[in-house]
Amino acid sequence: MALNWNEIKERAVKFSKEWKNTTNEEADAKPFLDAFFEVFGIPRKKIGTFEHRVKKLSEADGYIDMLWKGMILVEMKSRGKNLDKAFEQALDYTHGLKFHELPKYILVSDFENFRLYDVEEQTTHTFLLKDLVLNVRYFNQMIGYQKQILKEQDPANVKAAELMGKLHDRLEEIGYVGHPLEVYLVRILFCLFAEDTTIFLKQQFQYYIEQRTSEDGSDLASKIQELFQVLNTPKDMRFKNLDEDLNHFPYINGKLFEEVLPVASFDSKMRLALLECCYMDWSQISPAIFGSMFQSVMNPKERRSLGAHYTSESNILKLIKPLFLDELYEEFEKCSHDPARLTTFHNKLVSLKFLDPACGCGNFLIITYREIRLLELKVILSLQKLNLRVYQMEFIDISMFFRVNVDQFYGIEYEEFPARIAEVALWLMDHQMNMNAGAETGKRMLRIPLKKSAKIVHGDAMELDWNQIISENNISYFDAKDAEIIVNSKVNEPIPNYGSVKIRVESYKIVDEFSEIKPDSKFDYIIGNPPFIGSNVMTQFQRNQIVKVFNNIQGSGVLDYVAGWYIKAAKYIQGTTTKVAFVSTNSIVQGEQTSILWGQMINKYGVNIHFAHRTFKWSNEAKGNAAVYCVIVGFANFDSINKRIFEYEDIKGEAHELKVKNINPYLVDTKNLLISKRTNPICEIPKMYKGSQPTDGGNFLFTEDEKDIFLEKEPKAEKYIKPLISAHEFLNGEKRYCLWLVDADPNDLKKLPLLLKRVEEVRKMRLKSTKTATINWATKPTLFTENRQPLSNYILIPSHSSENRKYIPIGFMTKDDILNNSCFSIPGANLFHFGIVTSSMHMAWVNYICGRLKSDYRYSASIVYNNYPWPENPSEKQIKKIEEKAQQVLDVRASFPSSSLADLYSPLTMPPTLVKAHNELDKAVDAAYSKQTFTTDAKRMEFLFELYEKYTAGLFVKEKKGRKKI
């Protein structure tokens, strides 16, 4: 398995320190380069040769210092030598290489300075040896990562959405609300787009508003109403004396303008708001703008309740490229020179069907439709270049060849307004693609009047039968009445009558191209980003839906709402070749939910994960730009040999691709094991407990100053005040205190009025609670509601810790340090236990298994600690070694008394002596597990999963049986 970026960076720092004094090309270049490639986990001997002989342009022999054929050419010089000349020399060498040997990178260096030239991108990166750690990502392809470059949306889309939001607000203010407002806005959006994209004449709608309506807006509503009626009326059915300006508008059809709406009422400000929309150029607006527009005009509370959200184009491409688009392009490249295979491939594109069961305003469907149309254009242009007579388009209506259409796209949406927007947005994307096809072929293409439509069902995806959506929408077949053009009897798409081309083309041999396509009863791909609604904020109705779709299995009540879409999809794809991919919150692959969801997905429904994006920061393009930490999981009911994991060095940055053998529910390249919640550790080690919870409204608590002031007034209360340790105080070295009144003498307390006043406030606070359990605790106002204070000294582990730390800081505490519920305790733990839990081995387990709060670790006793496989039968010598190195870590920490644990474990300020102490402890712990060397966290996880499987073999029958004693 490839190293992750954190491991590479650690090696880069070490490499820079070890080789900082190297100077000589001849003496040092080979060991220097061997060590350099080891930074990336690459054995140089397996991939490249030194002194590779090659013919230069002068026909003289040259010798490349190091060549990895097809990947990188390295030329080394002694320190201080001219790197420009070295680079020219390297370029000269490339002329003597065969095509397959040409490198992707050229690296020249004098041991201190590095210059990396990316041949494919034609970019140069220059850096110093000491800064290698900051530049390792530029070598991404060298280690099997592939840089994913994704284009973001134009900011003009957001501006357009805001303009529509203003118009919405104006109409809403006058009482034009609900369904009529929603349909009205969709129609206005269509008109704005149409006049800038040749559906209407240029500025035809704007001219109509400016010239044919009053400036005070008094007649604007009636004029718009009249226009809507005209757009819904075929030209030959319009009144003979219809106003000429109106009659010039085309017939749209598609039922977009069919419904009769209440007449609105406009004023001068509303007219100006509409004209402001007209003045914007809508030809450059992505139809996906409608999703953003919808968010900009919806109440945020309603958005969360209904699960509405908008996904940026880059995130959509992260999903559809590995799910199907990359594969389709590979297939196209293989058949691009073979007319018969190209024709078959084209038929395949026309037959594909897509479902987004949480489609919102159609963002996923819109971008997918665009990408399939662009690929179809490449197919048609390739066929044209191959000189097939049927594709000589100068004599034929080109629309007959572009057969991918919006009726291949389906969606389910909870709210009516976004469902209607999705339909219209797909029409608009279809028109943009028609314009693009016209530009490429030199022939205008226009699908007006609208004859086909996407099927967007207004309903609840958790309640609907997804099978019914496709079966109710049959494929349309050729009808000669629909066209003036007759193309044999095999044409399977209705060819619209454009009124300009009347030509018979029976003589063209196109039977294979238009071979009949049978309707399929299943979708080919299911895509989308179901609602980001966490279990803790779901409504009871939503929770009941999830429990129901999971058939009431144990634990289903704690799952996030998105889990329902996974199970519905898993049920749907049984026995099919349908592929699925969803954007989801990362909770489904970490912590408690993973075993519940994927236990069903894998064990019951036979799902295989084909690709996955590990955690990245998802953000939408609507106002507020809410951020969620997400994953993308692609799966099917069959296995794949081409599995891919997309990893993020920076969760806000770009992904890098890894080819893997398997992807388990934790998105790790290892076996499909599930880590379930359990009450006891799988090994016989001290148990872990959560800290105590006061539920006191702050009345038990003191800062250090508050404690001193309190004791000045009531000194006899001192014996009842104890240090209170929360995660914050522990990590930041701050002090806080609490009243600890366990076993306090009532007679003694009566003599402490200030203390009793605080107790009374606790009682009052609990009585005001809405929770019955808290109200009941009002009868015991002197006690914490949850007392789990250890009776002996203990190890403390914070329940939350930054992912930026290599180790979670832990420490020993006394029984008089009252532990808050933001921490866990391990009473009776010793140095050996401390050493294991603070090791890299344990941190690898935490990194992959632990739940997250955003991207930070959320430690758990039942999931992380109780399932952690400790070393099997460590020897006394190994235990003693771990204890020795653990004490060394504590000693080094103690040598920095003015530094907090947060300072000591910050990746930027961690003292070298502490780094060294932890490294030595890691070696001792690794040795207790195995004789093998664990070079990466991934290798550690492979080993730990095997050990976990071994330890838990008997626990599924009886938890107590087989627990490993440490």
Q: State pLDDT tens for residues 854-868.
A: 657 789 999 999 999
Task: Quote the pLDDT of residue 908.
Answer: 87
State pLDDT tens for residues 906-926: 988 999 999 999 999 999 999
Categorize the per-residue pLDDT at 511 as very low, low, confident or very high, splitting at 50, 70 and 90. very low
Domain map of the chain by residue range? Answer: 5-143, 156-285, 313-462+521-525, 530-660, 675-692+823-966, 693-787
Query: What share of the chain has pLDDT > 90, as a percent?
Result: 53
**DSSP conformational letter for 2:** P
Tell me the three state secondary structure of residue 80. Answer: coil
Mean pLDDT of 389-412: 77
State pLDDT tens for residues 549-561: 999 898 888 889 9
Pick the closest to residue 724 from 709, 713, 739, 708 (CA basis): 739
In this predicted structure, the answer to whether residue 738 has a pLDDT above a threshold of 90 is yes
In this predicted structure, the answer to whether residue 126 has a pLDDT above a threshold of 50 is yes
Task: Quote the pLDDT of residue 472.
Answer: 56
Say whether the peptide bond before residue 449 is cis (omega within 30 degrees of 0): yes
Mean pLDDT of 263-277: 91
752 Cβ neighbours under 8 A, 6+ residues apart: 714, 716, 717, 720
Mean pLDDT of 863-876: 95
Task: Quote the pLDDT of residue 483.
Answer: 29
Categorize the per-residue pLDDT at 135 as very low, low, confident or very high, splitting at 50, 70 and 90. confident
Task: Quote the pLDDT of residue 490.
Answer: 29
Mean pLDDT of 615-628: 62
Phi, psi of 73 (to 5 degrees): -115, 130
Task: Quote the pLDDT of residue 118.
Answer: 87
- Distance between CA 555 and CA 869 in Å, rounded? 24
Determine which helix (DSSP H) or strand (DSSP E) holds 597, and give its type and residue range. Answer: helix 592-598
- Distance between CA 676 and CA 558 in Å, rounded? 13
Mean pLDDT of 184-206: 86
Tell me the three state secondary structure of residue 693. Answer: strand
- The strand pair at 811-813 and 701-703 is best described as unpaired
In this predicted structure, the answer to whether residue 480 has a pLDDT above a threshold of 90 is no
* Residues 527 and 320 sit within 8 Å (Cβ to Cβ): yes
Task: Quote the pLDDT of residue 213.
Answer: 93
- Distance between CA 488 and CA 196 in Å, rounded? 37
Task: Quote the pLDDT of residue 474.
Answer: 40
885: left (phi over 0), alpha (psi -120 to 50) or beta: alpha
Mean pLDDT of 115-143: 85
Task: Quote the pLDDT of residue 563.
Answer: 94
State pLDDT tens for residues 198-221: 788 878 899 899 989 999 999 999
- Distance between CA 562 and CA 582 in Å, rounded? 9
Beta bridge partners of 115: 108, 126
Long-range CB contacts (within 8 A, 24+) of 93-101: 93/54, 93/56, 93/62, 93/64, 95/55, 95/56, 95/57, 96/54, 96/55, 96/56, 96/62, 97/54, 97/67, 97/69, 100/69, 100/70, 101/67, 101/69, 101/70
Categorize the per-residue pLDDT at 145 as very low, low, confident or very high, splitting at 50, 70 and 90. low
Dihedral over Cα of 616, 849, 679, 882: its sign: negative
In this predicted structure, the answer to whether residue 904 has a pLDDT above a threshold of 80 is yes
Dihedral over Cα of 511, 512, 514, 516: its sign: positive
Task: Quote the pLDDT of residue 804.
Answer: 78
Task: For domain 5-143, give its CATH number from 3.90.1570, 1.10.10, 3.30.190, 3.40.50.
Answer: 3.90.1570
Q: What is the mean pLDDT of the chain?
A: 84
- Distance between CA 584 and CA 561 in Å, rounded? 10
Cα-Cα-Cα-Cα torsion 604, 606, 612, 614, nearest 10 degrees, comes to 30
Task: Quote the pLDDT of residue 502.
Answer: 27
Min mean pLDDT across 348-362, 639-653, 872-886 is at 639-653
Query: What are the distances in angstroms from CA 926 to CA 389, 832, 871, 913?
Result: 70, 13, 9, 20
Task: Quote the pLDDT of residue 289.
Answer: 64
Categorize the per-residue pLDDT at 302 as very low, low, confident or very high, splitting at 50, 70 and 90. very low
Categorize the per-residue pLDDT at 852 as very low, low, confident or very high, splitting at 50, 70 and 90. low
Neighbouring C-beta atoms of residue 945, cutoff 10 Å? 22
Mean pLDDT of 794-810: 90
Mean pLDDT of 515-521: 43
Categorize the per-residue pLDDT at 819 as very low, low, confident or very high, splitting at 50, 70 and 90. very high
Helix axes 268-278, 178-196, angle to 10 degrees: 40
Task: Quote the pLDDT of residue 46.
Answer: 76
State pLDDT tens for residues 10-62: 899 899 989 988 777 677 889 999 999 999 888 888 788 899 999 887 788 88
State pLDDT tens for residues 683-697: 999 999 999 999 999
Min mean pLDDT across 258-272, 391-405, 606-620, 739-753 is at 391-405
Query: What share of the chain has pLDDT > 70, as a percent?
Result: 86
Task: Quote the pLDDT of residue 2.
Answer: 54
Per the listing, tokens 């806000």 go with 652
Min mean pLDDT across 36-50, 146-160, 277-291, 411-425 is at 146-160
Q: Which of 113-127, 302-316, 740-754 has the highest mean pLDDT?
A: 740-754
Categorize the per-residue pLDDT at 282 as very low, low, confident or very high, splitting at 50, 70 and 90. confident
Per the listing, tokens 């009585």 go with 767
Categorize the per-residue pLDDT at 507 as very low, low, confident or very high, splitting at 50, 70 and 90. very low
Pick the closest to residue 250 from 227, 278, 222 (CA basis): 227
Query: Which structure tokens are listed for 322?
Result: 């590995």
Task: Quote the pLDDT of residue 57.
Answer: 79
Task: Quote the pLDDT of residue 157.
Answer: 64
Categorize the per-residue pLDDT at 435 as very low, low, confident or very high, splitting at 50, 70 and 90. confident
Task: Quote the pLDDT of residue 956.
Answer: 42
Task: Quote the pLDDT of residue 609.
Answer: 98
In this predicted structure, the answer to whether residue 462 has a pLDDT above a threshold of 70 is yes
Query: Which structure tokens are listed for 295?
Result: 């968010």
Mean pLDDT of 356-374: 93
Beta strands in 809-861 (DSSP E): 811-813, 818-819, 823-827, 851-853, 856-858
In this predicted structure, the answer to whether residue 255 has a pLDDT above a threshold of 90 is no
Neighbouring C-beta atoms of residue 461, cutoff 10 Å? 26
Mean pLDDT of 342-359: 96
In this predicted structure, the answer to whether residue 394 has a pLDDT above a threshold of 90 is no
